[in-house]
Amino acid sequence: MKHLTLLLATVLCVAIALAQQKIEDDTPSEPVRKTEIHVPKIAVYPWSFAENERGTNEQAVRSVQDLLRKSFENRAGMEILPEARCRAAWMQLGNEDFPLTVEDPGQLPRLPSAKKLLDFGEALGADYVCAGTVSWRVRSVWVGLGPKTKAEATVNVIIIDVKRREIVLDVRDFSSGSNKAEKWYETAGALLVSWGITLFSGGPKTPHMQRAGVIAVGAAIEPFFSAAGRKIE
């Protein structure tokens, strides 16, 4: 009888242990915590464009916009905030409308103050704000037996680091012509092609404006990737 009682007790202990193990096995484990990846957001706004022949060339404007977008997306790994959202936030803050194009360079608006751009970036929840203007001067010069088109682009651009409240780039009146070989442009040919930005020389004014705009803006924003900032008071 004593042996039977001992045997039953042993079986009962084993059953209890197995049941406890089953409960522990069925208990959900804590999910593995994933590393949060932060993609910096940038508002490439406001920008305004003009040329000296009235009715700013749409293809030239588009080339500059493509360059800005590809530079921040592909080189800096940033997310560009939608223009409609940027414009809505800009207007809701009581700022004056910043037109995409004006009829001539003399009508280009002045760049907003750093403080105004900082407030704008904070309202959007952006990490960076990039604002600027581009003006083109297109002219024909007589070379040899015929006229030759030349275009020069003048850029003003400012970039704000919203989180650190710093100006990380501030370039004013930077000019570069369609026939000028900026150091940045000399090494960017293959990169531009990979981005779908193909520029041609010669012919009518459009390719000259595209080339001048891309050369000037690309050279102007190049220091951003290693720029040191200064505090905005």
Q: What is the pLDDT of residue 181?
A: 58
Q: What is the pLDDT of residue 163?
A: 95
| Higher pLDDT among residues 61 and 183, named by residue | 61
Work out the percent of the chain whose per-residue pLDDT is above 70.
68
Spatial contact of 161 and 128, defined as CB atoms under 8 Å apart: yes
Tokens 């910096």 sit on residue: 40
The DSSP bridge pattern shows strands 79-80 and 41-51 to be parallel
Tokens standing for residue 161: 């680091």
Tokens standing for residue 150: 């030349």
Tokens standing for residue 211: 């080339």
Which residue, among 115, 97, 3, 92, has the nearest Cα to 46 in the 3D structure? 97
Mean pLDDT check: name the lowest of 33-37, 142-146, 159-163: 142-146
Q: Please, which residues bridge with residue 183 across strands?
A: none
Q: Is the pLDDT of residue 202 over 80?
A: no
Q: What is the pLDDT of residue 164?
A: 95
Q: What is the pLDDT of residue 23?
A: 45
Question: Which stretches within the chain are classed as H helix?
Answer: 2-26, 58-70, 83-92, 114-124, 183-186, 189-194, 205-221
Single pTM value for the model = 0.76
Mean pLDDT check: name the lowest of 109-113, 132-136, 155-159, 185-189: 185-189
Average pLDDT over residues 7-32: 54
Spatial contact of 151 and 205, defined as CB atoms under 8 Å apart: yes
Using left for φ > 0, alpha for ψ between -120 and 50, and beta otherwise, residue 144 falls in left
Which residue, among 115, 124, 125, has the nearest Cα to 84 in the 3D structure? 124
Q: What is the pLDDT of residue 178?
A: 55
Q: What is the pLDDT of residue 57?
A: 86
Spatial contact of 227 and 194, defined as CB atoms under 8 Å apart: no
Mean pLDDT check: name the lowest of 13-17, 49-53, 192-196: 13-17
Average pLDDT over residues 212-229: 82
**Residue 160: band (very low, low, confident or very high) from pLDDT cuts 50, 70, 90:** very high
Cis peptide, bond prior to residue 109, ω within 30 of zero: no
Give me the residue spans of the domains in the chain: 41-225
Question: Which stretches within 93-167 are classed as H helix?
Answer: 114-124
| Higher pLDDT among residues 10 and 66, named by residue | 66
